[in-house]
Structure 1
């Protein structure tokens, strides 16, 4: 937990919080002694002037305590909130720069919990540490010393009370700590089930699984709620028990103190101040216990956050990366005997992939579901790294490029069409922030998206909902294709990005790509399920179980490749022949 705070929390804020806390404790410890002086020297002797004089001191110490406490709380809150702010920024920065291998290790729902709930736990415990954890031991020691000075015989009461408190706190820790730790994993589960329900609501309705999903969420919710109730019951029980111990201690102090006063062994004022110190001792002890109850939960949260920071990317960058050339022209992309397997997988997902493409060429990749098509194109921008073999761009191994530079050379359209909340213009400029409206309209034209964009009176300023939910599936795909085309790149990768388009739109879009002057100087990689989408490619790779089982033009493969013929035959029945 302290490792997370290092470099993210100002040492001067901590020093300031400690100094104000010491001032507050010092002021609080002086007030009972002044009360004792008023009773012993003022009330007993009827000295009104003395009472006013000491009373003004008490008011002064009270105001000083309030000011110091407010300053301590302000500084502690500022420091802990800034810690949370920096932690969230660092976690998000880590996630954004993760390789896909790293990202696959932690569920999305858990990542959200770690960025929000876990960070809040860290913030809360640091506020407590800068307040209670520092104040409690100082108050405990100071009050014990001053109580002993008032009457050392009465302090023997604490030899009975403190062990009772210790046993009670031990039981509290034993019962509460495991439940506090469990809160985070139960929050993960609740978030996961809720997120799955939200993202899959259409599927749930289509298969009439509403009741099943409601029961699943109810189970996770009940588990989380019951754990939270148990925690609150334990904590709720603790406060009356503490009050009982404090009240019992006060009764014992009054009982034995009265005997000492009757024997004229102790002034009345000392008994009053002793009771105040006793309350400070017990409250300090209990506050310290509360901190130790909260720390395990925060420690669990800190461990979960640290797991994110400890993820080590399998993608290594060259210390002296080669320069990139992203201008249209002569580019080449070559796979040389490439193997790849996912982390912890027994079998490789790609084996001995070997092909080459030059500027102006279109490479089609086709194959059955699970044949490795997406895995192959994910290697081009180095979302993953090859296990064996080499991928080179313009004659240089991809590993010799800086990741940012490499991805500047590649424009990628993923399987899932993702748009971001904002205006359409902002989405189109995602890959090229300084793109002109003319460039955007040109890309929209190639992507066959001009018509429905112009239908809106706002044009490029029309609002895009999260995930592009205010567009149809085909419109989203065309907009993501246009966004990729706005960016100037050496390689354009379309990972099954035409699947939601009708045959006519698919054909016209591909013809527009082929006729565009810039695209004629770039390499185009198209992954598809439909033969028609890749039929006019210069080179078609046929994948089966991660292996290239055929390579050539449509006519060549149609006459000689069995797998390709099977795909054609399966699609002829659907009228999907080229």
Structure 2
């Protein structure tokens, strides 16, 4: 928490918040003194002029205290919200630099919770710090000193009430704090189950598992609810207990004070001011106790946020002095004996992968599910780094390039076509912000998407979240169009033809081959159909991470057993027609 405050709180506004807080405390503490003088010197002596003077003074002090409290609240709240804004940006920026490794380790649901709920908890603690957490101890200590100065005999009552209050607070905190800490982890679990249910709602309905998922959500929801009820029950127990102690303390002060007044050893005004100080002391103690009940939850959230911000990123840019710059416009992609395994895996996901493709050539990758096709293309983008070997572009290791420069060179259609809420135009301009309408229509035509885009209403047609208002094939074609509109040297299509029919698949590949923009680029196509890869310049045959063959269609068909088996299986299923 201190680390977050030091990095994100602005110095000048924070000083203003503290200054106005001190001014508010001074006014609150000065009022009982004015009240005591008004009673002892004005009311008892029937001095109306003095009463009027002190009354005006009370109004002025109250007004100053009110303005100070408002300004303190303003600066405290703006700083707390500013910290939240900065933290959300920092977390988002850090997550954007994460590789797939870090995202899978932390989990999507947990990252969402940390950037939302956890940030809110930290905001709350920041606000409470600049308000109650600073105000309560200052008020309590100052009130004790002034109360002792007014009437030292009555302060003996606090030797009983304050320890009782402290014991009560310790008991409540020892029970509530662990519960508040566990609530954050249970929030992660609720987000996970809810997110899976939301994204998988069609699957759930298709398999008639509505009741099972409802029971699953109810289980985590009830667990969260029960924990919350227990935590807030302990907190709720604190208020009536402290109110009872406060009331008994006031009764004891009045009873003992009445005896002192009767014995003429204390004035009435001192009793009134002492009662006010007693209320301020006990109320400050109560507020401080409440703050410390919620602080552990904020501290737990701060730790979770710092865990993200301090998380070691696996894929890093080289130092500026070590970075290389690509100068040649003719791309050349090379895998030099690359090995890769996922964290914790015993077996290599790619074993001794070695090939090279040059400008204008098409590289195709074929193989069964889990053979390592997507892993290979993810390595080109440096979503992971290989365990050994090197990946080079134009003879330069991509580890020596900044990720920004590398991603400028590469344009990719992912295995799952992702569209963003907006319009057709905004989705195309996501790939190339300066794209004109003419360029967008051209790439839509190349991607065989022009017809259905025109039917949908043109470039201003609405795209719902995840492209839910388009079919799977239409989403793939829009994603392909977004890929090829970006000026790049290497274009990657990761199994992005799978939802297309044979006719559309063939037309799209012919259009890609004929397009002048892609003529000199390296094209990487990942597919499972032989018909999709048959006209590629170089075909890689993968199986269980092993590169079992490489060559063109005819040479592999003649010499590679695995490739022939793929052809045979697809002919039997009627999948391929031109092999």
Match of 2:558 in 1: 559
Distance 2:6 2:98 in 1: 22
Cα shift at 1:367: 0.9
Q: Is the 8 A contact 1:439 1:486 kept in 2?
A: yes
1:140-196 Cα shifts (integer Å, max 9, x gaps): 111001100111111011111111001000011111101111111111111110000
Q: What stretches of structure 1 of length at least 5 have no aligned partner?
A: none
State the alpha-carbon separation in 2 of the partners of residues 326 and 379 from structure 1.
22
Q: Deviations over 1:14-34 (max 9, x none)?
A: 111110011000000011111
The aligned residue for residue 5 of structure 1 is 5
**CA contact 1:496–1:529 (8 Å) conserved in 2:** yes
Q: Cα deviation per residue 1:275-326 (whole Å; 9 max; x = unaligned)?
A: 1101111111111111111111001000000111111222232324222358
**Aligned partners of 2:56, 2:436: CA distance in 1, in Å?**
73
Which aligned pairs between 1:334-345 and structure 2 lie closer than 5 A?
334-345=334-345
Greater mean alpha carbon deviation, residues 20-29 or residues 535-544: 535-544
C-alpha separation in 2, matches of 1:300 and 1:250: 37
Please state how far the C-alpha of 1:463 moved relative to its aligned partner. Answer: 1.3
- Aligned residue for 1:539? 538
Contact 1:326–1:408 under 8 Å retained in 2: no
Structure 1 CA distance, aligned partners of 2:338 and 2:207? 41
Whether the aligned pair in 2 keeps the contact of 1:113 and 1:188 (CA below 8 Å) is yes
Question: What is the match of residue 279 of structure 2?
Answer: 279
Match of 1:570? Answer: 569
Q: Is the 8 A contact 2:140 2:285 kept in 1?
A: yes
2: distance between equivalents of 1:4 and 1:530? 52
The DSSP-based 3-state class of the residue aligned with 1:433 is coil
**1-structure distance, mates of 2:6, 2:376:** 41
CA distance in 1 between counterparts of 2:188 and 2:456 reads: 41
CA contact (8 A) 2:23 2:65 kept: yes
Matched residue SS, 1:46: coil
Question: What is the count of residue pairs matched by the alignment?
Answer: 575
Q: Check the 8 A contact 2:101/2:384 in 1, yes or no.
A: yes
Mapped to 2, the partners of 1:304 and 1:479 lie a distance apart of 38
Cα deviation digits, residues 206-247 of structure 1 (max 9, x gap): 111110000000111111111222222222221111110000
**Alpha-carbon offset, residue 343 of structure 1:** 2.2
Alpha-carbon distance between aligned partners in 1 of 2:310 and 2:372, rounded to the nearest angstrom: 29
Contact kept, 8 Å, 2:32 with 2:277, in 1: the verdict is yes
Equivalent positions of 1:411-430 (< 5 A) are 411-430=411-430
Give runs of aligned pairs for residues 108-507 of structure 1, distance below 5 A: 108-318=108-318, 319-320=320-321, 321-325=323-327, 327=329, 330-457=330-457, 459-507=458-506
Corresponding residue SS for 2:346 = coil
Deviation string 1:341-386 (CA, Å, 9 cap, x unpaired) is 1223222211100011011211111111111110001011111111
Q: Distance in 2 between matches of 1:562 and 1:92?
A: 48
Cα distance in 2 between the residues matched to 1:432 and 1:518: 14
Query: Contact 1:326–1:489 at 8 Å: present in 2 too?
Result: no
CA distance in 2, matches of 1:456, 1:572: 36
Contact 1:113 1:187 (8 Å CA) reproduced? yes
Q: Does the 8 Å CA contact 1:373/1:527 hold for their aligned counterparts?
A: yes
Q: Distance in 1 between matches of 2:162 and 2:229?
A: 29
1:345 partner SS: coil
Aligned CA-pair RMSD? 1.2
SS of 1:499's equivalent in the other structure is coil
Task: Please name the residue that 1:59 is paired with.
Answer: 59
Q: Aligned partners of 1:533, 1:54: CA distance in 2, in Å?
A: 93
* SS of 1:205 mapped into structure 2: helix
| Change beyond 3 A, Cα 1:152–1:326 | farther
Residue 559 of structure 1 and its aligned partner are, at CA, apart by 2.5
Measure the CA separation in 1 of the matches of 2:282 and 2:272: 16
CA contact (8 A) 2:332 2:359 kept: yes
TM-score by length of 2: 0.98
Cα separation, partners in 2 of 1:325 and 1:454, compared to 1, 3 Å? farther
Counterpart contact for 1:496–1:526, Cα < 8 Å? yes
Provide the C-alpha distance between the structure 2 equivalents of 1:342 and 1:2, rounded to a whole number of angstroms: 36
Distance verdict in 2 for CA 1:452–1:325, change over 3 Å: farther
Q: For residues 352 and 20 of structure 2, what CA distance do their matches in structure 1 show?
A: 68
Listed as ranges, the gaps of 5+ residues in structure 2 are none
CA contact (8 A) 2:338 2:390 kept: yes
- Please tell me whether the aligned partners of residues 540 and 553 of structure 1 are also in contact (alpha carbons under 8 angstroms): yes
Which range is displaced more, 422-431 or 560-569? 560-569
Cα displacement string for residues 528-563 of structure 1 (whole angstroms, at most 9, x for unaligned residues): 111111111111111111110111122222232222
Which structure 1 residue ranges, 4+ long, deviate > 3 Å from structure 2?
none
Give the SS at the match of 1:430. helix
Q: Tell me, what secondary structure is at the counterpart of 2:35?
A: helix
